Amino acid sequence: MPLPRWVARFNLYVTNRLLGPLAGRLPGMGVVIHVGRKTRRRYRTPVLIFRRGNRLIIALTYGRESQWVRNVLAEDGCRLETEGRTIGLSHPHLVHDDQRRDMPSFVRFMLGLLNVTDFLELTVAERVRSQ
| Domain spans of the chain, in order of start | 5-130
For residue range 9-26, list pLDDT tens digits in order.
Answer: 555 555 555 566 656 666
CA–CA separation, 13 and 128 (whole Å):
28
pLDDT band at 36 (very low <50, low <70, confident <90, very high): very high
Q: Which of 19, 18, 17, 38 is nearest to 28 (CA)?
A: 19
Give the Cβ contact number of residue 14 at 10 Å.
10
Instruction: Select from 3.20.20.100, 1.10.357.140, 3.90.1150.10, 2.30.110.10 the CATH code of 5-130.
Output: 2.30.110.10
b/e sequence 86-121, b meaning 16+ C-beta within 10 Å: bbebeebeeeebeebebbeeebbeebeeeebbbbbb
Query: Residue 12 carries which DSSP code?
Result: I
CA–CA separation, 109 and 100 (whole Å):
9
pLDDT score of 58: 95
Provide the 3-class DSSP secondary structure of residue 38.
coil
How far, rounded to the nearest angstrom, does the alpha carbon of residue 49 sit from its chain's CA centroid? 6
Strands 55-59 and 42-48: unpaired
Percent of the chain having pLDDT more than 90? 53
For residue range 65-124, list pLDDT tens digits in order.
Answer: 999 999 999 999 999 999 889 999 999 999 999 999 988 899 899 889 989 999 999 999
pTM of the complete model: 0.79
